[in-house]
Structure 1
Amino acid sequence: MQETRILWADDEIDLLKPHILLLNEKGYAVTTFTNGNDALEAFSKDNFDLVFLDENMPGMGGIETLSAIKNIRSDIPVVLITKSEEENLMEDAIGSKIDDYLIKPVNPKQVLLTIKKLIDNKRLVGEKTSMAYQQDFRKLGVTLNNNLNYNEWVEVYKKLIFWELELEKLDDPQMHEILTMQKAEANAQFSKFIEEHYMHWMDKSTSDIPLFSDQLLRKKVFPLINNQTPVFFILIDNLRYDQWKVIHPLMLEYFKLEEEDTYTSILPTATQYARNSIFSGLMPLEMEKKYPKHWQNDDDEGGKNLHEEFFLSEQIKRTLKKECRFSYHKILTFDQGKEICDQFNNLMQNNFNALVYNFVDMLSHARTDMQMIKELANDDAAYRSLTLSWFEHSPLLDLLKKLAQKKVKVILTTDHGTIRVKSPSKVIGDRSTNTNLRYKQGRNLNFNSKEVFLIKNPHEAHLPKINISSNYIFAKEDKYFVYQNNFNQFANYYNDTFQHGGISLEEMLIPVVTYSNK
């Protein structure tokens, strides 16, 4: 471990020799000065990890020296040592960005604790975090080999995300690699779980099924609608559970958490299917039969999510069976987001407002097509960081700040997640086969059966089919479909991009979170 270097300036430094000797014994290298001028000159020429300053030195005093040091290197922690706790002194010290202070006479234990808190804290926390994950790693490994039910899978996924966010704070490539391998193993087992249970769940007569996209509004949102408290249903397209976790602390600055829950995206985990299902309250096959003019199949031209407001209106009439003033807005640009903020008073007159924000979905697509975005979001941590940065500076947060001042309910969710794909899977299909990289619909599909989940009869999964012999196949884990023609070219182009439509923990297990005012 690299030696920690400490600069200590005190006009009575000779009285502190026992402290200095103890620190030397503990492995700290201490350089001493009797005045602020000499200390500042040394600091400007050499590298130190921590500075102790006596507040009451003759000439250049502690506060003045502190301010000058912070102008040179603001990241180096500085501890002020003082005989006084006067309010104006503390205000000056805090204004000069003091990191800690000690009251004279100081004892060696106080000094050591301060050093550990400011210098060794990150290392100690890192070691403790790594050790805790290593213990949990073994438990998770055993758990993954068990015959898990749906709720247990949700808990496994949340635990993996917890460790991913914790280990992200550490510079420990080995721990990151171990976690990545464990997530891959979890996704392999989860894909088997979905293969075994999905078609059983699609038999709507069974009771032991998760909450799916078509039931989301009916079960989680509509029961909250009344004439006293406006309900805001905010759907951020393509928002994964880990991305929600990084914006959640910001939400808690303005709202109280009422309920954190999870629902399951239907297959395909694609906007055309999952989001239309949410707003219609129907499965895709039911939408095609009930609203043939509004449902768009994969081979139809034009946008696939142009009728969500109509679907929502029909579901409200069918389900609530009472008058409900509602609005639906899809926000694609910054200016559209500002316009929604400007309509705040009008929104508050409604019983229910549905808002769809498309930024994260556009970010995932841009990362595939734009080199600059690929570099900015070069891994999952960077992808989360970009999502948080957008949220912090978005008109959505401005709207939420306004809502926090009123009595409202806010439900935050998404339609599906996304996964970073790594493994190309060869598929052959005719010209009518759709272009999505995580699922294919078509006839005479040729594929590696070990790498896909095949639905031979789409109607049994409540999915429409373009022709009588159509099948659906879904990519599992981190696979992505590439046609045989120019295989290497397209495999390289789409490798390491964020895709959705298939089967993975990231795509299917969706946060649905209810907030209320503090």
Structure 2
Amino acid sequence: MINILWVDDEIDLLKPHILFLEQRQYNVTTCNSGMEALEVLSDTNFDIVFLDENMPGLSGLETLNEIKERRANLPVVMITKSEEEYIMEEAIGSKIADYLIKPVNPNQILLSLKKNLDHSRLISEKTTSNYQQEFRKIAMDLAMVNSYQEWIELYQKLIYWELQLEDIEDVGMTDILESQKTEANMQFGKFIEKNYQDWFLPHTEAPVMSHTLFKEKVVPELNNAQPTLLVVIDNLRYDQWKAFEPIVNTYYKKESEISFYSILPTATQYARNAIFSGLMPADMEKLFPQYWKNDTDEGGKNLHENDFLREQLKRLGLSHLKYEYHKITNLRSGKKLVENFKSLKQNDLSVVVYNFVDMLSHSKTEMEVVKELASNDKAYRSLTLSWFKNSPLLEMIQLSQQLGFKLILTTDHGTINVKSPTKIIGDRDTSLNLRYKTGRSLTYQEKDVIAVKNPKSFNLPALSMSSSFVFAKGDLFLAYPNNFNHYVSYYRNTYQHGGVSLEEMIIPFVVLQPK
């Protein structure tokens, strides 16, 4: 039974309201003054308090402050005759649960109770009901989806429901959604296997991809009258963007948002270099051998993004553009850029590559603490949100809003929580990534991967005449047979990228204007 404390110096006049509530199985305790209410509260637990603002002796606001000091989480509904703004502000500032103006009718009281005490249950029931209806439609869509745009829409729908179901207590619904995502990734793998290489053929309709993103989506946004800040957050999934979008919306209004496709492999050295060069990896290797490094080459694979960007601007006839490129790999370099941020106003384009999310996902495999904190997608989103709220990146976004920058937020690829191993065998020169391999004489489970025997068909460099690529599908990861059990227990339930999944390939590109 719900226990209500109702405090009003004219409580006898409220007898009809109290009877109304008692008939609906609410238990109501009444008090005539603030002092009496505080005494009762010290002995009895209540679920909610209705509190008159205008009482002799201890006023409603004074009583409210005392209640909050003693029971900070107890919901208090303030009831008042006065509509003066300062009383409302005082009450709201003291974290009231609701604010009602006298005369109140019984249904207003009932609505306030349901809003404050049944809120979670009612939302949970409605969300569950809505998803149960949508489940059938998603299942039908899954059977029929057959274009890159339909896959984007289906994935966005799945993420919408994942975020809706995140805060309800029905684990069964979450499990059903997870099974739909797994099924979607199986079908998506087949779609990519069938269609991906055709996207590079002349006169074939293709999605916006890593290597066409800058030309097709960034360049049209550049404007001499307004500086542009392009932020590429490494390894950012669509659902992670949705998690911190409300914070960005405090400072910016969204002008447009699309999802585009990361190229394969969905790995930083391939996908991010493709964004900045405007080229596929095979062309990068051919045209800029001084900047490109293959998997087995020594040294950093993303050390020449600025060089690639300069060459792309030259190719697009934009050499006159005043731009700067900054890569943030740790907290110190982030804070340093914040300190000097105002100097970016003189640029037409300022590019910031922010590596945090990538470091987070990789460190998860190394650090047990992070592994505990990001044990599933919900926790991973929460961790990303917590980081973003306290990051120099948020400070940069606040500064860019104050300075009038157009803001473009995007990423190079996403990441997926890998659940199951699939065995692969390769020679000592085989690449190390858990979601894709390139090398000679690879042996693998054919049903678990997309195998590319001719890398040129995917516009990828070939390490030798006989080398090939394989990409893990769904939530699989590639494991060698020797020391298999140790390897599997170490990497299972970690976040990886490089393979074929909705999470890795369908990623956000957002254009925003300062508020």
Is the CA contact (8 Å cut-off) linking 2:448 and 2:476 kept in structure 1?
yes
What is the alpha-carbon distance in structure 2 between the residues aligned to residue 426 and residue 332 of structure 1?
A: 33
Which segments of 5 or more consecutive residues in structure 2 lack a partner in the other structure?
none
Matched, 1:186 2:184: yes
Give 1:82's aligned amino acid: T
Matched, 1:481 2:478: yes
What is the alpha-carbon distance in structure 2 between the residues aligned to residue 142 and residue 378 of structure 1?
A: 31
Is the CA contact (8 Å cut-off) linking 2:9 and 2:31 kept in structure 1?
yes
1:352 aligns to what?
349
**3-state DSSP of counterpart to 1:324:** coil
What is the alpha-carbon distance in structure 2 between the residues aligned to residue 377 and residue 386 of structure 1?
A: 7
Query: How far apart are 1:255 and its partner, in Å?
Result: 1.5
What is the alpha-carbon distance in structure 1 between the residues aligned to residue 440 and residue 452 of structure 2?
A: 12
1:63 aligns to what?
61
Which segments of 5 or more consecutive residues in structure 1 lack a partner in the other structure?
none
Q: Residue by residue, what CA displacement relative to the aligned partner does 1:380-410 show, whole Å, maximum 9, x if unpaired?
A: 1121112112222211221211211233322
| Aligned ranges 1:50-199 → 2 under 5 Å | 50-199=48-197
Q: CA RMSD in A?
A: 1.6
Give 1:350's aligned amino acid: N
| Aligned ranges 1:376-455 → 2 under 5 Å | 376-455=373-452
**3-state DSSP of counterpart to 2:298:** coil
**3-state DSSP of counterpart to 1:348:** helix
> Residue 217 of structure 1: which of 214, 219, 226 is its match?
214
1:335 aligns to what?
332
Greater shift after overlay, 371-380 or 450-459? Answer: 371-380
Matched, 1:297 2:290: no
Identity of aligned residues (%): 56
Query: How far apart are 1:135 and its partner, in Å?
Result: 0.6
Query: How far apart are 1:248 and its partner, in Å?
Result: 1.4
What is the alpha-carbon distance in structure 1 between the residues aligned to residue 82 and residue 205 of structure 2?
A: 67
Is the CA contact (8 Å cut-off) linking 2:229 and 2:400 kept in structure 1?
no
| Aligned ranges 1:272-291 → 2 under 5 Å | 272-291=269-288
Matched, 1:254 2:283: no
Gap change, CA 1:156 and 1:345, over 3 Å in 2: same
**3-state DSSP of counterpart to 2:29:** strand
Is the CA contact (8 Å cut-off) linking 1:501 and 1:507 kept in structure 2?
yes
Greater shift after overlay, 486-495 or 411-420? Answer: 486-495
Is the CA contact (8 Å cut-off) linking 1:222 and 1:320 kept in structure 2?
no
Query: How far apart are 1:13 and its partner, in Å?
Result: 2.7
What is the alpha-carbon distance in structure 2 between the residues aligned to residue 513 and residue 82 of structure 1?
A: 45
Gap change, CA 1:325 and 1:102, over 3 Å in 2: closer
TM-score (norm 2): 0.97
1:243 aligns to what?
240
Give 1:157's aligned amino acid: Y
Query: How far apart are 1:322 and its partner, in Å?
Result: 4.2
What is the alpha-carbon distance in structure 2 between the residues aligned to residue 174 and residue 104 of structure 1?
A: 43
Runs of 4+ with >6 A deviation:
none
**3-state DSSP of counterpart to 1:145:** helix
What is the alpha-carbon distance in structure 1 between the residues aligned to residue 94 and residue 247 of structure 2?
A: 27
What is the alpha-carbon distance in structure 2 between the residues aligned to residue 56 and residue 475 of structure 1?
A: 68
**3-state DSSP of counterpart to 2:51:** strand
Give 1:347's aligned amino acid: L
Query: How far apart are 1:58 and its partner, in Å?
Result: 4.2
Q: Residue by residue, what CA displacement relative to the aligned partner does 1:154-180 show, whole Å, maximum 9, x if unpaired?
A: 000111111111111212211111111
Gap change, CA 1:87 and 1:488, over 3 Å in 2: same
Query: How far apart are 1:343 and its partner, in Å?
Result: 2.5
What is the alpha-carbon distance in structure 2 between the residues aligned to residue 223 and residue 18 of structure 1?
A: 66
What is the alpha-carbon distance in structure 1 between the residues aligned to residue 132 and residue 159 of structure 2?
A: 15
Gap change, CA 1:256 and 1:81, over 3 Å in 2: closer
Query: How far apart are 1:215 and its partner, in Å?
Result: 0.8
1:514 aligns to what?
511
Query: How far apart are 1:27 and its partner, in Å?
Result: 2.4
2:266 aligns to what?
269
TM-score (norm 1): 0.96
Gap change, CA 1:258 and 1:55, over 3 Å in 2: closer
What is the alpha-carbon distance in structure 1 between the residues aligned to residue 29 and residue 171 of structure 2?
A: 34
**3-state DSSP of counterpart to 1:425:** strand
Query: How far apart are 1:22 and its partner, in Å?
Result: 1.6
**3-state DSSP of counterpart to 2:398:** helix
Greater shift after overlay, 115-124 or 355-364? Answer: 115-124
Give 1:199's aligned amino acid: Q
Query: How far apart are 1:124 and its partner, in Å?
Result: 1.5
